[in-house]
Chain A
Amino acid sequence: MQLISLPGLTRYSVARELQLKLVERRADDLIPDTVLFLEHYPVITQGRGLQFNGTERTRHMPLPAAFPEGVEFSETERGGDLTYHGPGQLVIYPICKLDGQGFGPARDVEGFVRKLEGVLIQELSASGVHAESRPGATGVWVGDSTQAKKVASVGIAVRKWVTYHGMAINCVNDLSPFGLISPCGFSPEIMGRLSDVLAPDAWSKLSGTPRISWRKALERALARRMSVDSVVREVDLQDLQ
C-alpha cells in the first residue's frame, strides 16, 4: 500500500478527479493499492442516496435551502446520502483492488467497508476508547447506546473492482455545518469528533496547531494499520488530471 498525503486543503472536485484517475491506473495494475489522506475545503456532498440508519432506509435527504458562503455542494457516486467535509476532518480515500491480494478482500464490498472501519476502531481501542461499527449503520461510533456519537462516516464506490471514496474522520473540525443537513439520515447531533472523546493530548503531542498535529498523528497511526510501505512525496495534480 502506498500513501499519498495531500497537504493543506483539497477541493472536492479535485480529489474526485484524482481518485478516478488512480482507479483507472489501479485497475490496470500500473500502481499498487494507494490510500489518499486529505482534508477538504468545506463541502456538502450527496451520495447515491440509499442509507440504512438502523431504523429506516432513507434516500435523498432534503438539501438545505441555502448553503452558507464558502460551503460548496457536490453530488457524487459514493454510497450513502448527505454528509459534510471540512478542515480538521481527516478524509481517507483508499484506492484498493478487491482481489484478495492486498488490503481489499476478494470482491467483498461489505468486508472492505468493515475492514476500513476496523482500522479506526482498532486505533481508538489502542488509545483506550471503545469504538464500534454498527450492524446496518455504516460508520464508526463511540459512546454507549444512549449517547452514541458517529465520529467517522463511510461511503465508498467501486469501479472495475477497485474501490474509491472512503471514510471521513471528524478530528477537530467544527461540527456545526452538519446542522445544515441530516447526515446520512441521522439527526445532526449524532455527529461527534475525536478531540471530544480522546484525552486532549493523546494524539496531539506533536508541534503545530491542533489541526495539523491531529492530522499528523492520525495519519501516522492509520497508515501503519493499513500496512503502508511507501509514501508518494510529490503529487503533481496537473499530471494526474
Chain B
Amino acid sequence: MEFKLPELGEGVSEGELVKWAVKPGDVVKHDQPLCEIMTDKATIEIPSAFEGTVATLHAKEGEIVHVGQILLKFETEAAADQAKKVPTHIEDVAPSVSTPVNQGAKPAPAASPLNIEEPTIAASPATRKMAKEAGVDLNKISASGPNGRVLREDVERYISSGARKTPAPAAAPKVPRKAMPAPAAGSEQRVPFVGLRKKIAEKMRASKDHAAHYTYVEEADATELVQLRAHAKEIGERQGVKVTYIPFVMKAMVAALKQFPMINSSLDEQAGQLVLKNYYNIGLSIQTEDGLTAPIVKSVEHKTVLELAREIENLVDRARKKQLTLEDFQGGTVTLTNAGSIGGLFATPVINYPEVAIMGFNKISRKPVVKVIDGVEKIVIRDWTYFSISLDHRVVDGGIAAEFMKIFIKYIENPGFLLLD
C-alpha cells in the first residue's frame, strides 16, 4: 500500500521534506507523525492515515515532494494477504486508469479475476456512490481512513477544495516537475554535490550517526615547543625539509596514547569488540581545493621528527596535487587536525569514524599569563594554545579524556620529555 503526500491547501503543490519521523520496519499507528513537510510559511507534520508497517521510504530528507507523490509504502496484515492474490498495479494506477471511477457501487472483491485491472481503493459503498455522483475519481483523493481507506469526509473535502475542477485527463502523462522553482536569474547557482565533497559528507554523517561525540579542550603553554621548533626549522631548512609543529604534536600524541590504549582504538560494533591498536598511524587533516582529506602518517612511534616532517611535506604536496592513493588512507588509528592555521580559538572536530578520537591543534598566540617565578606571581608573555580533542563517549569517558589530555599537555609543554620515552 502507498501513502501519498496529501493536499496541503489550494495553491500548495509541493513542499520540502524536512525530516522523516519513521523508518522502514516501523510499526505505525493511525495519526502518528510520518514526516515533516515545509512550505514557504509553514511546517506541517504529516500524520499517518493508516496502520501498518513501513516498508520503504520513497523520498529523501531535503527533497521537494509534490502533492500526490508517493512518500512511502507500507504493509498491513490485510494487504499482505491480498498481495498474494492480486497482481498489484498500484504503481501506475493514477496515470493509466481509463475509467475515472471504480466501477459499481459494491466494493471490488480483491481476488475477483474480473477486477484485476482495476485499482483496489478501499472505500465504503456509500462513499463510492457519493464519489461517482460527484464525478470524482477515488484514486485522486488522499485517504485519511485506516489502511488508506477513502472516507466520506475525504470526498467532501476533495469536492469543496475545488480540486476536481482542475482538468486531469485520465491518461495524461505525468508532467515532469522541476526540483525547485526557478530562482531569479543569477540569484543562486546549482552545482553538483559530488566527488570528494560528497565523500566527506557521507563520512561525516556516518561519524555523527555512530559515535557519541563530545569535545574536551585544554590549554597549553607552548613557549618551549615554539623555541624547539624554531631550532628544528633551521636544521630542517639545511636538509631541505620544512618542519612544522605537526611532527612534535604527533610525537606527544603517541607518548600519551601509549598510556591510554583505548583512545588509540576502534569499536567493532558487529563483533562487539573494542580493537586496541599497538601501532600509531595518525591521520592528518589536509585542506585541499576540493575539500578536506586525511591521509595517514604510519608508524609515528618509529620515526624521528625530521622523518615525520619529510613525510608530512610529501603527503601535503601529493594531497594538493590530487595524487594520494588508496594506500595513503588505510590503517589510521587516530587523527590530528590542524584547525589553527587560519584562526579561531579552538574547533570541535568530527571524529574520523570508526576511530574514537581526533585531536584538534589550534592557533598558537602570544598571551599574558600569570606565572609563579621565585615564589612571586608575575604576568609574563607566553606562547599559548588550546588543544581540543573530540572523542566517542561510547568508548572513552570524560574523566579518561581529562587524564589523557593532562599527560599529552605535559609533553607539549615539556617537549624534552619526549626524549625520555
Contact = CB atoms under 8 A, between A and B. Distances in A.
B7 A57 contact: no
A47 interface: yes
A108 B9 contact: yes
A48 B9 contact: no
Given A79-B40, A109-B39, A110-B11, A158 B45 contact: yes
Contacts of A224: none
A152 B125 CA distance: 48
A79 B183 contact: no
Interface in B60-79: none
Contact of B41 (A49, A106, A156, A160): A156
Interface residues of B, number: 30
Given A105-B9, A110-B10, A159 B33 contact: yes
Contacts of A27: 31
A110 B184 contact: no
Contacts of A109: 8-9, 12, 39, 41-42, 44
Interface in A203-223: none
Contacts of B40: 50-52, 79-80, 136, 138
Given A55-B187, A79-B39, A100 B160 contact: yes
Nearest to A112: B9
B103 to A, nearest CB: 28
Interface residues of A, number: 34
Given A100-B160, A138-B41, 12 more contacts: A48-B43, A51-B40, A79-B38, A79-B40, A80-B40, A106-B161, A107-B161, A108-B8, A108-B9, A109-B41, A113-B41, A138-B40
The 8 closest A-B pairs by CB, nearest first: A108-B9, A110-B9, A79-B42, A158-B44, A138-B41, A56-B187, A159-B45, A109-B9
15 contacts: A50-B38, A55-B184, A79-B38, A79-B39, A79-B40, A106-B157, A107-B8, A109-B39, A111-B9, A113-B42, A136-B40, A138-B40, A155-B41, A157-B42, A160-B47
Interface of B: 6-12, 16, 18, 31, 33, 36, 38-45, 47, 157, 160-161, 180-181, 183-184, 187-188
Interface of A: 27, 47-52, 55-57, 77-80, 100, 105-113, 136, 138, 154-161
